[in-house]
Structure 1
Protein backbone atom coordinates (compact mmCIF):
# COMPACT_ATOMS: atom_id res chain seq x y z
CA UNK A 1 0.00 0.00 0.00
CA UNK A 2 1.20 3.53 -0.89
CA UNK A 3 4.27 2.00 -2.56
CA UNK A 4 4.80 4.80 -5.07
CA UNK A 5 4.10 7.57 -2.61
CA UNK A 6 6.47 6.04 -0.06
CA UNK A 7 9.17 5.91 -2.72
CA UNK A 8 8.61 9.55 -3.67
CA UNK A 9 8.52 10.71 -0.06
CA UNK A 10 11.52 8.63 0.98
CA UNK A 11 10.15 7.65 4.38
CA UNK A 12 12.90 7.87 6.97
CA UNK A 13 14.78 10.39 4.80
CA UNK A 14 14.11 13.98 3.71
CA UNK A 15 10.97 13.86 1.52
CA UNK A 16 11.57 13.81 -2.22
CA UNK A 17 9.49 15.30 -5.00
CA UNK A 18 5.97 14.02 -5.68
CA UNK A 19 5.06 14.13 -9.40
CA UNK A 20 3.54 17.50 -10.31
CA UNK A 21 0.67 15.86 -12.20
CA UNK A 22 -0.40 14.11 -8.99
CA UNK A 23 -0.27 17.37 -7.02
CA UNK A 24 -2.39 19.15 -9.64
CA UNK A 25 -4.93 16.34 -9.81
CA UNK A 26 -5.45 16.32 -6.06
CA UNK A 27 -5.39 20.11 -5.66
CA UNK A 28 -8.05 20.50 -8.35
CA UNK A 29 -10.37 18.43 -6.16
CA UNK A 30 -9.91 20.99 -3.35
CA UNK A 31 -11.02 24.28 -4.97
CA UNK A 32 -10.60 26.33 -1.80
CA UNK A 33 -6.83 25.96 -2.14
CA UNK A 34 -7.11 28.52 -4.95
CA UNK A 35 -7.65 31.17 -2.25
CA UNK A 36 -3.98 30.82 -1.27
CA UNK A 37 -1.19 32.85 -2.82
CA UNK A 38 1.58 31.19 -4.84
CA UNK A 39 4.04 31.22 -1.94
CA UNK A 40 1.42 29.70 0.37
CA UNK A 41 0.62 26.97 -2.17
CA UNK A 42 4.31 26.07 -2.34
CA UNK A 43 4.58 26.10 1.44
CA UNK A 44 1.49 23.88 1.75
CA UNK A 45 3.04 21.27 -0.55
CA UNK A 46 6.20 21.24 1.55
CA UNK A 47 4.24 20.75 4.74
CA UNK A 48 2.08 18.02 3.19
CA UNK A 49 5.18 16.10 2.11
CA UNK A 50 6.63 16.34 5.59
CA UNK A 51 3.31 15.39 7.16
CA UNK A 52 3.02 12.25 5.04
CA UNK A 53 6.62 11.29 5.76
CA UNK A 54 6.19 11.70 9.52
CA UNK A 55 2.74 10.24 10.25
CA UNK A 56 1.43 6.69 10.26
CA UNK A 57 -1.73 6.01 8.23
CA UNK A 58 -4.14 3.12 8.59
CA UNK A 59 -7.18 2.32 6.45
CA UNK A 60 -9.89 0.88 8.71
CA UNK A 61 -12.44 -1.77 7.69
CA UNK A 62 -10.32 -2.80 4.73
CA UNK A 63 -10.14 0.68 3.20
CA UNK A 64 -7.32 0.92 0.64
CA UNK A 65 -5.66 4.32 0.97
CA UNK A 66 -4.59 5.54 -2.47
CA UNK A 67 -1.90 8.13 -3.13
CA UNK A 68 -4.62 10.62 -4.09
CA UNK A 69 -6.44 10.09 -0.81
CA UNK A 70 -3.25 10.50 1.22
CA UNK A 71 -2.28 13.72 -0.53
CA UNK A 72 -5.81 15.13 -0.16
CA UNK A 73 -5.80 14.42 3.58
CA UNK A 74 -2.30 15.85 4.01
CA UNK A 75 -3.05 19.08 2.13
CA UNK A 76 -6.18 19.73 4.17
CA UNK A 77 -4.55 18.72 7.45
CA UNK A 78 -1.72 21.16 6.84
CA UNK A 79 -3.90 24.16 6.03
CA UNK A 80 -4.38 25.03 9.72
CA UNK A 81 -0.61 24.86 10.30
CA UNK A 82 0.38 26.67 7.10
CA UNK A 83 2.11 29.39 9.13
CA UNK A 84 2.71 27.33 12.27
CA UNK A 85 4.74 24.42 10.94
CA UNK A 86 4.71 20.69 11.55
CA UNK A 87 5.84 21.07 15.16
CA UNK A 88 2.21 21.88 15.98
CA UNK A 89 1.42 18.20 15.29
CA UNK A 90 4.52 16.71 16.89
CA UNK A 91 2.80 15.11 19.90
CA UNK A 92 1.03 12.33 17.99
CA UNK A 93 1.60 10.13 14.93
CA UNK A 94 -1.51 8.21 13.86
CA UNK A 95 -4.19 8.93 11.25
CA UNK A 96 -6.96 6.33 10.92
CA UNK A 97 -9.28 6.57 7.92
CA UNK A 98 -12.68 4.85 7.66
CA UNK A 99 -14.56 4.33 4.39
CA UNK A 100 -17.57 6.25 5.78
CA UNK A 101 -19.01 7.32 9.10
CA UNK A 102 -18.18 5.09 12.05
CA UNK A 103 -19.53 4.32 15.51
CA UNK A 104 -17.85 5.17 18.82
CA UNK A 105 -19.25 3.72 22.08
CA UNK A 106 -19.98 6.51 24.58
CA UNK A 107 -20.45 6.45 28.35
CA UNK A 108 -21.98 9.52 29.98
CA UNK A 109 -23.16 10.18 33.51
CA UNK A 110 -26.24 12.36 34.01
CA UNK A 111 -26.88 14.76 36.88
CA UNK A 112 -28.37 11.94 38.96
CA UNK A 113 -25.23 9.83 38.64
CA UNK A 114 -26.77 7.36 36.20
CA UNK A 115 -24.37 6.16 33.48
CA UNK A 116 -25.83 6.01 29.98
CA UNK A 117 -24.19 3.93 27.27
CA UNK A 118 -24.87 4.54 23.59
CA UNK A 119 -23.29 4.33 20.15
CA UNK A 120 -22.38 7.66 18.58
CA UNK A 121 -22.20 7.73 14.77
CA UNK A 122 -19.54 10.27 13.78
CA UNK A 123 -17.51 11.48 10.78
CA UNK A 124 -14.33 12.21 12.68
CA UNK A 125 -12.68 12.22 16.08
CA UNK A 126 -9.50 13.83 17.39
CA UNK A 127 -8.08 12.23 20.53
CA UNK A 128 -5.97 14.27 22.90
CA UNK A 129 -2.45 12.85 22.66
CA UNK A 130 -3.69 10.15 20.28
CA UNK A 131 -4.61 9.68 16.64
CA UNK A 132 -6.96 11.57 14.37
CA UNK A 133 -9.80 9.38 13.07
CA UNK A 134 -11.45 10.44 9.81
CA UNK A 135 -14.14 9.34 7.41
CA UNK A 136 -13.10 9.39 3.77
CA UNK A 137 -15.69 11.67 2.15
CA UNK A 138 -14.68 13.19 -1.19
CA UNK A 139 -15.43 16.92 -1.59
CA UNK A 140 -18.73 16.63 -3.52
CA UNK A 141 -20.15 14.41 -0.76
CA UNK A 142 -20.28 17.39 1.61
CA UNK A 143 -21.78 20.89 1.25
CA UNK A 144 -19.50 23.90 0.86
CA UNK A 145 -18.03 25.00 4.17
CA UNK A 146 -18.09 21.51 5.68
CA UNK A 147 -14.71 19.81 5.91
CA UNK A 148 -14.12 16.84 8.21
CA UNK A 149 -10.32 16.95 7.90
CA UNK A 150 -9.95 20.65 8.73
CA UNK A 151 -12.45 20.23 11.57
CA UNK A 152 -10.53 17.46 13.31
CA UNK A 153 -7.13 19.06 12.84
CA UNK A 154 -8.48 22.33 14.24
CA UNK A 155 -9.40 20.28 17.31
CA UNK A 156 -5.80 19.06 17.46
CA UNK A 157 -4.57 22.66 17.62
CA UNK A 158 -7.21 23.43 20.25
CA UNK A 159 -5.85 20.54 22.33
CA UNK A 160 -2.30 21.91 22.43
CA UNK A 161 -3.03 23.58 25.76
CA UNK A 162 -5.52 21.05 27.13
CA UNK A 163 -8.98 19.91 26.04
CA UNK A 164 -10.88 21.08 22.98
CA UNK A 165 -12.56 24.07 24.60
CA UNK A 166 -12.43 26.59 21.76
CA UNK A 167 -9.52 28.48 23.32
CA UNK A 168 -6.31 27.23 21.67
CA UNK A 169 -2.82 28.40 22.49
CA UNK A 170 -2.62 31.82 20.86
CA UNK A 171 0.42 33.45 19.23
CA UNK A 172 2.15 35.91 21.54
CA UNK A 173 0.90 38.94 19.60
CA UNK A 174 -2.78 37.98 20.00
CA UNK A 175 -5.02 39.14 22.85
CA UNK A 176 -6.78 36.45 24.88
CA UNK A 177 -9.45 38.99 25.83
CA UNK A 178 -10.17 39.89 22.20
CA UNK A 179 -10.40 36.19 21.27
CA UNK A 180 -12.77 35.46 24.14
CA UNK A 181 -14.97 38.45 23.32
CA UNK A 182 -15.25 37.63 19.62
CA UNK A 183 -15.96 33.93 20.08
CA UNK A 184 -18.21 34.09 23.13
CA UNK A 185 -20.42 36.75 21.54
CA UNK A 186 -20.69 34.87 18.23
CA UNK A 187 -21.29 31.54 19.99
CA UNK A 188 -24.11 32.94 22.10
CA UNK A 189 -25.80 34.48 19.06
CA UNK A 190 -25.33 31.28 17.10
CA UNK A 191 -26.85 29.12 19.84
CA UNK A 192 -29.85 31.45 20.03
CA UNK A 193 -30.39 31.04 16.28
CA UNK A 194 -30.13 27.24 16.53
CA UNK A 195 -32.48 27.07 19.52
CA UNK A 196 -35.00 29.25 17.68
CA UNK A 197 -34.86 27.01 14.62
CA UNK A 198 -33.46 29.76 12.41
CA UNK A 199 -31.32 28.85 9.40
CA UNK A 200 -27.63 29.28 10.11
CA UNK A 201 -24.59 29.77 7.90
CA UNK A 202 -22.50 27.38 9.98
CA UNK A 203 -23.42 23.76 10.63
CA UNK A 204 -25.80 23.66 13.65
CA UNK A 205 -23.43 21.11 15.19
CA UNK A 206 -21.29 24.12 16.14
CA UNK A 207 -23.78 24.82 18.94
CA UNK A 208 -22.68 21.64 20.77
CA UNK A 209 -19.86 23.44 22.60
CA UNK A 210 -17.37 26.31 22.23
CA UNK A 211 -14.82 23.75 21.03
CA UNK A 212 -17.11 22.58 18.24
CA UNK A 213 -17.91 26.19 17.32
CA UNK A 214 -14.19 26.89 16.89
CA UNK A 215 -13.69 23.78 14.74
CA UNK A 216 -16.75 24.44 12.56
CA UNK A 217 -15.79 28.12 12.17
CA UNK A 218 -12.32 26.93 11.09
CA UNK A 219 -13.89 24.78 8.36
CA UNK A 220 -15.76 27.81 7.04
CA UNK A 221 -12.67 30.04 7.41
CA UNK A 222 -10.77 27.96 4.86
CA UNK A 223 -13.62 26.78 2.62
CA UNK A 224 -16.10 29.69 2.57
CA UNK A 225 -14.07 32.56 4.04
CA UNK A 226 -16.02 35.46 2.55
CA UNK A 227 -19.25 34.14 4.02
CA UNK A 228 -17.75 33.75 7.49
CA UNK A 229 -16.22 37.23 7.27
CA UNK A 230 -19.62 38.76 6.45
CA UNK A 231 -21.58 36.94 9.14
CA UNK A 232 -19.00 36.88 11.97
CA UNK A 233 -16.36 39.52 11.12
CA UNK A 234 -14.79 39.52 14.59
CA UNK A 235 -14.43 35.72 14.56
CA UNK A 236 -12.95 35.86 11.07
CA UNK A 237 -10.42 38.50 12.16
CA UNK A 238 -9.33 36.37 15.12
CA UNK A 239 -8.96 33.25 12.96
CA UNK A 240 -6.98 35.20 10.36
CA UNK A 241 -4.56 36.27 13.09
CA UNK A 242 -4.44 32.76 14.60
CA UNK A 243 -3.86 30.93 11.31
CA UNK A 244 -1.72 33.71 9.81
CA UNK A 245 -3.57 33.86 6.50
CA UNK A 246 -6.47 35.74 4.87
CA UNK A 247 -8.35 33.39 2.53
CA UNK A 248 -11.23 35.87 2.10
CA UNK A 249 -8.82 38.25 0.37
CA UNK A 250 -7.74 35.41 -1.89
CA UNK A 251 -11.36 34.58 -2.63
CA UNK A 252 -11.97 38.20 -3.65
CA UNK A 253 -8.90 38.21 -5.89
CA UNK A 254 -10.05 35.01 -7.54
CA UNK A 255 -13.53 36.42 -8.12
CA UNK A 256 -12.12 39.64 -9.58
CA UNK A 257 -9.98 37.72 -12.08
CA UNK A 258 -13.00 35.68 -13.13
CA UNK A 259 -15.23 38.75 -13.66
CA UNK A 260 -15.11 40.83 -16.87
CA UNK A 261 -14.18 44.53 -16.58
CA UNK A 262 -17.08 46.75 -15.57
CA UNK A 263 -16.65 48.96 -18.65
CA UNK A 264 -15.29 46.61 -21.27
CA UNK A 265 -14.75 48.33 -24.63
CA UNK A 266 -17.36 47.52 -27.25
CA UNK A 267 -16.39 45.90 -30.48
CA UNK A 268 -16.87 47.81 -33.74
Structure 2
Protein backbone atom coordinates (compact mmCIF):
# COMPACT_ATOMS: atom_id res chain seq x y z
CA UNK A 1 0.00 0.00 0.00
CA UNK A 2 2.79 2.44 0.91
CA UNK A 3 4.55 1.78 -2.41
CA UNK A 4 1.26 2.35 -4.27
CA UNK A 5 0.71 5.68 -2.51
CA UNK A 6 4.29 6.73 -3.19
CA UNK A 7 3.99 5.94 -6.89
CA UNK A 8 0.64 7.77 -7.06
CA UNK A 9 2.16 10.81 -5.38
CA UNK A 10 5.16 10.90 -7.71
CA UNK A 11 3.00 10.53 -10.82
CA UNK A 12 0.80 13.37 -9.60
CA UNK A 13 3.81 15.64 -9.00
CA UNK A 14 5.23 14.86 -12.43
CA UNK A 15 1.86 15.33 -14.12
CA UNK A 16 1.50 18.80 -12.61
CA UNK A 17 5.10 19.85 -13.15
CA UNK A 18 5.38 23.59 -13.88
CA UNK A 19 8.48 23.13 -16.04
CA UNK A 20 8.15 23.33 -19.82
CA UNK A 21 10.28 21.74 -22.52
CA UNK A 22 11.73 25.20 -23.14
CA UNK A 23 12.70 25.47 -19.46
CA UNK A 24 14.50 22.13 -19.60
CA UNK A 25 16.30 22.93 -22.84
CA UNK A 26 17.47 26.28 -21.48
CA UNK A 27 18.88 24.61 -18.36
CA UNK A 28 20.45 21.72 -20.27
CA UNK A 29 22.19 24.13 -22.63
CA UNK A 30 24.24 25.25 -19.62
CA UNK A 31 25.21 21.70 -18.69
CA UNK A 32 27.38 20.02 -21.35
CA UNK A 33 28.28 17.60 -18.55
CA UNK A 34 24.95 15.89 -19.24
CA UNK A 35 25.59 15.38 -22.96
CA UNK A 36 26.98 11.94 -22.08
CA UNK A 37 23.55 10.71 -20.99
CA UNK A 38 21.29 8.81 -23.36
CA UNK A 39 17.61 9.72 -23.76
CA UNK A 40 16.37 7.28 -21.13
CA UNK A 41 18.95 8.48 -18.62
CA UNK A 42 18.15 12.11 -19.32
CA UNK A 43 14.42 11.47 -18.92
CA UNK A 44 15.12 9.75 -15.59
CA UNK A 45 17.29 12.67 -14.48
CA UNK A 46 14.59 15.20 -15.37
CA UNK A 47 12.06 13.14 -13.43
CA UNK A 48 14.31 13.05 -10.37
CA UNK A 49 15.02 16.77 -10.65
CA UNK A 50 11.29 17.54 -10.78
CA UNK A 51 10.65 15.49 -7.63
CA UNK A 52 13.69 17.06 -5.98
CA UNK A 53 12.37 20.56 -6.62
CA UNK A 54 8.97 19.58 -5.25
CA UNK A 55 10.43 18.21 -2.01
CA UNK A 56 13.21 20.73 -1.40
CA UNK A 57 13.06 24.46 -0.77
CA UNK A 58 15.48 26.52 -2.86
CA UNK A 59 15.86 29.88 -1.14
CA UNK A 60 17.75 32.94 -2.31
CA UNK A 61 19.96 34.67 0.25
CA UNK A 62 19.82 38.43 0.40
CA UNK A 63 18.13 39.84 -2.66
CA UNK A 64 18.89 36.90 -4.97
CA UNK A 65 15.94 35.94 -7.16
CA UNK A 66 15.86 32.17 -7.67
CA UNK A 67 14.83 31.81 -11.30
CA UNK A 68 13.42 28.71 -12.95
CA UNK A 69 16.67 28.31 -14.86
CA UNK A 70 18.73 28.44 -11.67
CA UNK A 71 16.45 25.90 -9.99
CA UNK A 72 16.70 23.44 -12.87
CA UNK A 73 20.46 23.86 -13.31
CA UNK A 74 21.03 23.09 -9.63
CA UNK A 75 18.51 20.23 -9.50
CA UNK A 76 19.91 18.48 -12.58
CA UNK A 77 23.45 18.57 -11.18
CA UNK A 78 22.30 17.57 -7.70
CA UNK A 79 20.40 14.57 -9.03
CA UNK A 80 23.14 13.25 -11.32
CA UNK A 81 24.90 11.39 -8.47
CA UNK A 82 21.61 9.73 -7.43
CA UNK A 83 20.45 8.93 -10.95
CA UNK A 84 20.54 5.21 -10.17
CA UNK A 85 20.14 5.52 -6.40
CA UNK A 86 16.90 7.43 -5.94
CA UNK A 87 15.73 10.51 -4.09
CA UNK A 88 15.62 8.69 -0.73
CA UNK A 89 19.37 9.35 -0.50
CA UNK A 90 18.57 13.03 0.05
CA UNK A 91 16.12 12.45 2.90
CA UNK A 92 16.43 14.16 6.27
CA UNK A 93 16.80 17.79 5.20
CA UNK A 94 14.90 20.33 3.11
CA UNK A 95 16.64 23.61 2.32
CA UNK A 96 19.08 24.69 -0.38
CA UNK A 97 20.25 28.23 0.38
CA UNK A 98 21.69 30.08 -2.61
CA UNK A 99 23.96 33.13 -2.44
CA UNK A 100 24.64 35.24 -5.54
CA UNK A 101 28.35 34.38 -5.39
CA UNK A 102 30.78 33.33 -2.66
CA UNK A 103 29.89 33.89 0.98
CA UNK A 104 31.75 34.13 4.28
CA UNK A 105 30.15 32.17 7.12
CA UNK A 106 31.27 32.55 10.72
CA UNK A 107 32.25 29.38 12.58
CA UNK A 108 33.13 29.00 16.24
CA UNK A 109 36.32 27.08 17.04
CA UNK A 110 37.93 26.24 20.37
CA UNK A 111 41.73 26.23 20.47
CA UNK A 112 43.98 23.91 22.45
CA UNK A 113 43.73 26.02 25.60
CA UNK A 114 39.95 26.31 25.48
CA UNK A 115 39.66 29.82 24.04
CA UNK A 116 36.69 30.29 21.71
CA UNK A 117 37.38 32.01 18.40
CA UNK A 118 35.10 33.18 15.60
CA UNK A 119 36.56 32.15 12.25
CA UNK A 120 35.48 33.64 8.93
CA UNK A 121 36.26 31.55 5.84
CA UNK A 122 35.20 32.55 2.31
CA UNK A 123 33.35 29.67 0.63
CA UNK A 124 31.40 28.89 -2.53
CA UNK A 125 29.45 26.00 -0.97
CA UNK A 126 28.75 24.22 2.28
CA UNK A 127 26.74 21.22 3.52
CA UNK A 128 25.35 20.78 7.01
CA UNK A 129 24.46 17.44 8.55
CA UNK A 130 20.65 17.38 8.79
CA UNK A 131 20.77 21.00 7.66
CA UNK A 132 20.84 22.93 4.41
CA UNK A 133 23.09 22.81 1.42
CA UNK A 134 24.51 26.28 0.77
CA UNK A 135 25.57 27.16 -2.78
CA UNK A 136 26.89 30.03 -4.82
CA UNK A 137 24.58 30.75 -7.76
CA UNK A 138 27.54 31.90 -9.84
CA UNK A 139 29.45 28.66 -9.32
CA UNK A 140 26.34 26.52 -9.68
CA UNK A 141 25.41 28.05 -13.03
CA UNK A 142 28.92 27.48 -14.36
CA UNK A 143 29.30 24.00 -12.89
CA UNK A 144 28.20 22.03 -15.92
CA UNK A 145 31.28 22.97 -17.94
CA UNK A 146 33.41 19.83 -18.08
CA UNK A 147 36.57 20.96 -16.30
CA UNK A 148 36.79 18.54 -13.37
CA UNK A 149 35.20 20.97 -10.90
CA UNK A 150 31.55 20.93 -9.91
CA UNK A 151 30.37 22.72 -6.78
CA UNK A 152 26.89 21.16 -6.75
CA UNK A 153 28.14 17.58 -7.08
CA UNK A 154 30.75 18.28 -4.41
CA UNK A 155 28.25 19.52 -1.83
CA UNK A 156 25.70 16.83 -2.58
CA UNK A 157 28.39 14.16 -2.32
CA UNK A 158 28.84 15.44 1.24
CA UNK A 159 25.11 14.93 1.78
CA UNK A 160 25.44 11.31 0.65
CA UNK A 161 28.43 10.90 2.95
CA UNK A 162 26.35 12.28 5.84
CA UNK A 163 23.62 9.68 5.46
CA UNK A 164 25.38 7.59 8.13
CA UNK A 165 26.62 10.44 10.31
CA UNK A 166 29.33 13.08 10.12
CA UNK A 167 31.02 13.22 6.71
CA UNK A 168 34.13 11.04 6.84
CA UNK A 169 34.63 9.82 3.28
CA UNK A 170 32.58 6.64 3.68
CA UNK A 171 28.90 6.92 2.82
CA UNK A 172 26.58 4.00 3.62
CA UNK A 173 27.57 1.28 1.17
CA UNK A 174 25.18 -0.90 -0.79
CA UNK A 175 24.58 -4.54 -0.04
CA UNK A 176 27.40 -6.52 -1.63
CA UNK A 177 29.97 -3.73 -1.34
CA UNK A 178 32.91 -4.29 0.98
CA UNK A 179 33.75 -1.68 3.63
CA UNK A 180 37.35 -3.00 3.96
CA UNK A 181 37.85 -2.75 0.19
CA UNK A 182 36.44 0.78 0.16
CA UNK A 183 38.68 1.82 3.04
CA UNK A 184 41.75 0.24 1.47
CA UNK A 185 41.20 1.92 -1.90
CA UNK A 186 40.40 5.36 -0.52
CA UNK A 187 43.02 5.36 2.25
CA UNK A 188 45.82 4.41 -0.15
CA UNK A 189 44.75 7.00 -2.72
CA UNK A 190 44.34 9.72 -0.09
CA UNK A 191 47.82 9.04 1.31
CA UNK A 192 49.28 8.99 -2.19
CA UNK A 193 47.71 12.34 -3.08
CA UNK A 194 49.02 13.91 0.12
CA UNK A 195 52.47 12.51 -0.61
CA UNK A 196 52.48 13.81 -4.17
CA UNK A 197 51.46 17.27 -3.06
CA UNK A 198 53.99 17.31 -0.21
CA UNK A 199 56.79 16.50 -2.68
CA UNK A 200 55.68 19.03 -5.26
CA UNK A 201 54.64 16.45 -7.84
CA UNK A 202 52.15 17.38 -10.53
CA UNK A 203 48.62 16.11 -9.85
CA UNK A 204 45.49 16.50 -11.93
CA UNK A 205 43.19 16.46 -8.90
CA UNK A 206 42.37 19.57 -6.86
CA UNK A 207 44.69 19.81 -3.85
CA UNK A 208 41.66 20.47 -1.67
CA UNK A 209 41.00 16.73 -1.86
CA UNK A 210 44.02 16.18 0.38
CA UNK A 211 42.66 18.23 3.30
CA UNK A 212 40.37 15.55 4.78
CA UNK A 213 38.92 12.14 3.84
CA UNK A 214 35.47 13.71 3.45
CA UNK A 215 36.85 16.27 1.00
CA UNK A 216 38.73 13.53 -0.86
CA UNK A 217 35.46 11.67 -1.44
CA UNK A 218 33.63 14.84 -2.51
CA UNK A 219 36.37 16.05 -4.86
CA UNK A 220 36.85 12.59 -6.38
CA UNK A 221 33.09 12.46 -6.93
CA UNK A 222 33.30 15.73 -8.89
CA UNK A 223 36.08 14.37 -11.06
CA UNK A 224 34.35 10.98 -11.42
CA UNK A 225 31.39 12.63 -13.16
CA UNK A 226 33.27 15.41 -14.95
CA UNK A 227 36.55 13.74 -16.00
CA UNK A 228 36.18 10.06 -15.14
CA UNK A 229 39.30 8.98 -17.00
CA UNK A 230 41.43 11.07 -14.63
CA UNK A 231 40.14 9.04 -11.66
CA UNK A 232 40.34 5.74 -13.53
CA UNK A 233 43.94 6.32 -14.59
CA UNK A 234 45.16 7.88 -11.34
CA UNK A 235 43.32 5.76 -8.77
CA UNK A 236 41.70 2.77 -10.52
CA UNK A 237 40.66 1.09 -7.25
CA UNK A 238 38.83 4.26 -6.19
CA UNK A 239 37.20 4.49 -9.61
CA UNK A 240 35.89 0.94 -9.22
CA UNK A 241 34.46 1.72 -5.79
CA UNK A 242 32.76 4.84 -7.12
CA UNK A 243 31.18 2.93 -10.02
CA UNK A 244 29.75 0.47 -7.49
CA UNK A 245 28.54 3.17 -5.11
CA UNK A 246 26.98 5.50 -7.68
CA UNK A 247 25.88 2.56 -9.85
CA UNK A 248 27.17 4.47 -12.85
CA UNK A 249 30.18 4.11 -15.08
CA UNK A 250 30.77 7.39 -16.92
CA UNK A 251 33.37 5.76 -19.18
CA UNK A 252 30.77 3.38 -20.61
CA UNK A 253 29.34 5.84 -23.09
State the TM-score, normalized to the length of structure 2: 0.89
Q: Which residue of 2 aligns with 1:21?
A: 22
Q: Does 1:212 align with 2:211?
A: no
Q: Does 1:241 align with 2:244?
A: yes
Q: Which residue of 1 aligns with 2:6?
A: none
Q: Which residue of 1 aligns with 2:99?
A: 98
Q: Which runs of 4+ in 1 moved over 6 A?
A: 140-143
Larger mean Cα displacement after TM superposition, 149-158 or 111-120: 111-120
SS of alignment partner, residue 248 of structure 1: coil
Q: Which residue of 1 aligns with 2:155?
A: 152
SS of alignment partner, residue 64 of structure 1: coil
* Contact persistence 1:35–1:248 (CA under 8 A): no
Shift in Å at residue 249 of structure 1?
A: 1.9
* Contact persistence 1:81–1:243 (CA under 8 A): yes
Structure 1: distance between partners of 2:62 and 2:251: 38
Structure 2: distance between partners of 1:247 and 1:142: 16
What is the number of residues matched between the two proteins? Answer: 240
SS of alignment partner, residue 61 of structure 1: coil
When the two chains are superposed, the root-mean-square deviation of aligned CA atoms in Å is: 1.9
SS of alignment partner, residue 154 of structure 2: helix
Q: Does 1:68 align with 2:69?
A: yes
Structure 2: distance between partners of 1:142 and 1:193: 27
Q: Does 1:232 align with 2:235?
A: yes
Indicate the structure (1 or 2) with the bigger Cα radius of gyration.
1
Q: 1:198 to 1:117 in 2, by over 3 A?
A: farther
SS of alignment partner, residue 45 of structure 1: helix
* Contact persistence 2:31–2:144 (CA under 8 A): no
Larger mean Cα displacement after TM superposition, 18-27 or 217-226: 18-27
- List runs of 5+ in structure 1 lacking aligned partners: 1-10, 251-268
The C-alpha deviation readout for 1:45-85, integer Å capped at 9, x for no partner, is 10000001111111112111111110000000101111111
* Contact persistence 1:22–1:68 (CA under 8 A): yes
SS of alignment partner, residue 62 of structure 1: coil
Which residues of 2 match residues 147-226 of structure 1 at below 5 A?
147-226=150-229
Structure 1: distance between partners of 2:118 and 2:144: 30
- List runs of 5+ in structure 2 lacking aligned partners: 1-9
Shift in Å at residue 89 of structure 1?
A: 1.1
SS of alignment partner, residue 122 of structure 2: strand
